Chain A
Amino acid sequence: MKKILLVDDEPNIIMSLEYTFKKQNFEVFIARDGQEALDILKTEQPDVIILDIMMPNVDGYATIESIKKNEKLTHCKVIFLSAKNKESDIEKGMQLGADAYMTKPFSIKKLVDQVNELLVSSD
């Protein structure tokens, strides 16, 4: 069973994501900001991380930087999911080492396709 970590400070968005990925047979972990995500990552090595950028305390950029430094998480795929939709934002996200960047509002179907695609390519 694949593991997925959902990081977002909007509870209603998390709720939809959680429902969606549970239905897709993922083991789902939830974090409300970067700090919580990093805490979870101390013990868990999920296959995919869905990461929001603008969050209180530790934001998405700082989170991905920590993830990339962690050798245990090298196999881990990171998808940014953010309302920041400017070219420069996307570029920055990819430069930091994200595997994909999706802008909000997003299509759940496309997000699921994207996750699956990443998982297939890594297998």
Chain B
Amino acid sequence: MNSGYLLVILLLYLGLLFFIAQWAERKGSSKWTNNPYVYSLSLAVYCTTWTYYGSIGVAANSGLNFIPIYLGPVIAFPAWILILRKIIRISRVNKISSIADFISLRYGNSRFLGALVTIISLIAILPYVGLQLKAISETFHIVTNSPESTNVFLDTSTYVALVLALFASFYGTRYVDASEKRKGIVTAVAMESVLKLFFFIILGLYVTFFVFDGFESIYEKASLMERFQEKNTINGLEGGMNWMMLIILSFFSIFLLPRQFHMSIVENNREKHIRTAIWLFPLYLLLFNVFVYPIAWGGNILFEGKNVNPDMFSLLIPQLFDNTFMTVLVFLGGFSAAISMIVVSSITLSTMLSNNLLIPYGILGSLQKDNQENNSERIVKIRRIGIFLMIILAFIYYRYFIMDFSLVSVGMISFVIVAQLGPAFFGAVFWKRGSQKGAVSGIIVGMLICFYTIMLPFLLSSINPDSKFFIEGFFGYTILQPFQLFGLDYLDPIPHALFWSLLFNILVYMIVSVSFKANYRERNYAEMFVDIDKYINNHENAFVWKGTAYVSDIQKVLKRFLGEERTNRALSIFKMKYNIAPDYLMADARLVKFAENLLTGHIGTASAKILIESVTKEDKISLPEVLKILEESKENLIINKKLTETSNELKELSSQLKKANQSLLLKDKQKDEFLDTVTHELRTPITAIRAASEILHDDDEIPEELKKQFLQNIITESDRLNRLIDKILDLEKFETGKQKIYPTQGNIVQTISKSLSPLQQLISNKNIHVEFDENQPAVLFDYDEERIIQVITNLVSNAIKFTNEKSGIIIITIAEKEEDLKVNVFNNGKGVNPEDLVSIFDKFYQSNNQNIKKPIGSGLGLAICKQIIEAHKGKIWAENVQNGVTFSFTLPKKI
């Protein structure tokens, strides 16, 4: 294919990615960019050209050995829920933006450790980035059938690298705060992950079903080839050991590769996205690997005896069949895999380079004096140049150093180097005793062994492949043979290097950590990292710091990096969170930590600490004191919680008291009103009696008939008086619990009839209609008949009072249920004032405007009814219905 055309296609493709990144950046938090699938797919930045081309090379040369690199992450995933969530939380609260920040902060915010991690990452990743550029370049030349030009400036791949470098440096530095999310990059990477998988699967289907007749056909033909059997077994225990080491290697890499740390932790928006990732990402890897084997062995069959690089089978197979379209698709897939890796890696590396190396060791002093705008600009500029240089450096590295290495070998070396961060990294999260000295010495020892067992030999072999060094070892000590250190001769170079370097790394890390005391700051962060869940909501509280600091000084420092507005906003949020008076002058540990956090995203943890230290005066604290403070802060958290609970209880109690008081006041008022009514009610018959008696006493001429009438009045009124007194006493007895009910079996239909008969006179006087079916079937259960008669009489006489003469209708019905029985007394009089529906059953209740209107009855009847029904464990209530009002009560069949 003409290289001009391909270049155009490439530019279009890059343009599309620009567009996607731009779009996602604008969409910000829309559900298209902020969802678990984008997150999971962005993790597939793990699959680089190594996967795309290299795996096929490995499968073609040595069978199954491409698998362990994917098994490690798959095995790691169940543990993700546990480990990753913890790391995400730690990183979120501390505003961590890279693995260098993470490790250095944990070990006492150590500037040196941050720089060390940065350097190691650079050593590991730069060649790896170079490897991607190499893949782009090589595949470009294969697709276009053009030779690689020895003149860098005439080689098209140079310009591809330049464009990439520009893209990454522009997009990777949109925010000064490195802990900000980069939606554009993440979405573009996720998109590329989809494309590279899609194109790879299309290729797989093409090779398996169009070039060959399915999996079986490939297998049949391949199994006839030389050394097929040997290549496709694990090769016994020794092979198994190799496998295990490779699995460990990739297990570490999925956490430790700076780009994986960046994608899975810094770019994580929601913890719950992990839940999708733990199934989607392994599935992704599985899909990617399904066709590796058929393509590799298909290539072996097709190119048997020809001298071609099996890494390039993916392109060579479609090309062999003159399928240009398929060739370009595969090329674009590989290109996607490469640029994702290059862009993300260069962004993270340049952040580390600026925040953990250049700023803390170089320009911090000058930043300290400048204003926010200049500082932000400078930081961004440093990063931008960093990214650009990184990619160019990687390009140079590829052009002049690694031209001849296979994709996988360079990648593997990267992995082994990065794995040296493993002990310090995992120790950071799970082991409180791990110390800065331990971490530094472990990493350095591991790196030295790495250098000796793998980097040095590889460099040497490219210069002088026949060097005696490989056979005789260092200075002729065979025990120091680089590939068989201490006589370990059955591991391949990579697993071998990993084994020894990790072993010594871990041992040194642990031994040094337990042998020397950690300083208080390390111990403090150890606590905050390992027990992150305890401090997640107020981690500033867990930070131990004693000394003198002025808020205004800290504010000044913050303004230099955050600007006036953001600083003030952040501080007011802080004061609100901890309930601090807005005008306080002295800063405490919480503000110191808070300020460090604010700066961390801009200039890294170590520089943040240095800056804050420069304006505060810290007192020395001993380790035991730190432990004591931490213990206290834990207790404080518990006490705080208890206090909050108690205060809530008190609030509850006081509101209950208020309510009780209000209801008492109301009761008191009702009681006064009741007394008024009762005395009025008592006085009325007495008045009548007194008047009649006086007439009888003073008047001798009174006619006999009239005399009799007056005497009769006296008798009636006396009875009335007596009944009233009975009612009051009745109520009093019920209320104080002295009145018992005596349930015996009765028939409620009969009881209602009994209640109605004494009222017949009243009913016919008022000429109203009372409806009750006396012939309905008997309902038998236990209740105090005398009392229930009292209730029904009361309800019906009330109903009679409230209905109008002649047009009045009263309907009594019974509704039987499984558990209880309901009696309804309806009348078509005017309804009850809705406000009074409940209170009419209160004993002191009189209608609100009773002051001026004569109450009907003593105001005791319904209160007594309620007492009686409640003594039966039933309920009584009133409700306004259409055309009238219904009083109902229930009686449980079993008391």
> A83–B695 contact, CB under 8 A?
no
Distance between Cα atoms of A23 and B680 in the complex (Å): 28
Distance between Cα atoms of A84 and B680 in the complex (Å): 7
Contacts of B694 in A (CB 8 A): 16, 107-109
> B680–A54 contact, CB under 8 A?
yes
> B687–A10 contact, CB under 8 A?
yes
At the interface with chain B, which of A39-47, A55-63, A70-78? Answer: A55-63
A interface size (C-beta, 8 A) = 26
Distance between Cα atoms of A107 and B690 in the complex (Å): 8
- Report the minimum CB–CB distance from B707 to chain A (whole Å): 10
- Report the minimum CB–CB distance from A79 to chain B (whole Å): 15
Distance between Cα atoms of A53 and B850 in the complex (Å): 11
Check: B782 CB closer than 8 A to any chain A CB. no
- Report the minimum CB–CB distance from A90 to chain B (whole Å): 14
> A13–B687 contact, CB under 8 A?
yes
Which residues of B724-751 are within 8 A (CB) of A?
none
Check: B811 CB closer than 8 A to any chain A CB. no
The answer, among B684, B695, B854, for a CB contact under 8 Å with A16, is B695
Check: A27 CB closer than 8 A to any chain B CB. no
Contacts of A12 in B (CB 8 A): 688, 691-692, 713, 716-717
Distance between Cα atoms of A70 and B683 in the complex (Å): 32
> A16–B680 contact, CB under 8 A?
no
Contacts of A107 in B (CB 8 A): 690, 694
Contacts of A61 in B (CB 8 A): 852
Distance between Cα atoms of A23 and B702 in the complex (Å): 10
Check: A104 CB closer than 8 A to any chain B CB. yes
Contacts of B689 in A (CB 8 A): 105
> B713–A15 contact, CB under 8 A?
yes
Check: A35 CB closer than 8 A to any chain B CB. no
* Nearest-CB residue, chain B, relative to A103: B683
> B683–A109 contact, CB under 8 A?
no
Check: B698 CB closer than 8 A to any chain A CB. yes
The answer, among B687, B698, B852, for a CB contact under 8 Å with A83, is B687
Check: B835 CB closer than 8 A to any chain A CB. no
> B706–A19 contact, CB under 8 A?
yes
Distance between Cα atoms of A48 and B245 in the complex (Å): 120
Check: B679 CB closer than 8 A to any chain A CB. yes
Contacts of B710 in A (CB 8 A): 15-16
The answer, among A17, A62, A84, for a CB contact under 8 Å with B691, is A17
Distance between Cα atoms of A17 and B304 in the complex (Å): 137
- Report the minimum CB–CB distance from B698 to chain A (whole Å): 7
Which residues of B693-724 are within 8 A (CB) of A?
694-695, 698-699, 702, 706, 709-710, 713, 716-717
> A20–B716 contact, CB under 8 A?
no
Contacts of B691 in A (CB 8 A): 12-13, 16-17, 105-106, 108
> A10–B684 contact, CB under 8 A?
yes
> B695–A56 contact, CB under 8 A?
no
Check: B31 CB closer than 8 A to any chain A CB. no
- Report the minimum CB–CB distance from A38 to chain B (whole Å): 15
Check: A99 CB closer than 8 A to any chain B CB. no
Most-contacted residue by chain A among B683, B684, B698, B713 (CB, 10 A)? B684
The answer, among A17, A57, A59, A83, for a CB contact under 8 Å with B683, is A83
Distance between Cα atoms of A13 and B713 in the complex (Å): 9
The answer, among B679, B716, B854, for a CB contact under 8 Å with A56, is B854
> B853–A104 contact, CB under 8 A?
no
> B695–A19 contact, CB under 8 A?
yes
> B713–A56 contact, CB under 8 A?
no
Contacts of B698 in A (CB 8 A): 108-109
Most-contacted residue by chain A among B687, B713, B855 (CB, 10 A)? B687
- Give a binary string over B653-689; 1 marks a CB under 8 Å from any A CB, 0 the rest: 0000000000000000000000010011001101111
Residues of B within 8 A of A (CB): 676, 679-680, 683-684, 686-692, 694-695, 698-699, 702, 706, 709-710, 713, 716-717, 852-856
Offer 21 A-B interface pairs, CB within 8 angstroms, sorted by A: A10-B688, A12-B688, A12-B716, A13-B691, A15-B709, A16-B710, A19-B695, A19-B706, A23-B699, A53-B852, A54-B853, A56-B853, A59-B854, A83-B683, A84-B680, A104-B684, A104-B686, A104-B687, A106-B690, A108-B691, A108-B698
**Closest CB pairs A-B (n = 3):** A16-B691, A12-B688, A104-B687
Known pairs A12-B692, A16-B692. 18 more at Cβ < 8 A? A9-B854, A13-B687, A15-B692, A16-B695, A19-B702, A54-B854, A55-B853, A56-B854, A62-B852, A83-B680, A84-B676, A84-B680, A104-B687, A105-B683, A105-B690, A108-B694, A108-B695, A109-B698
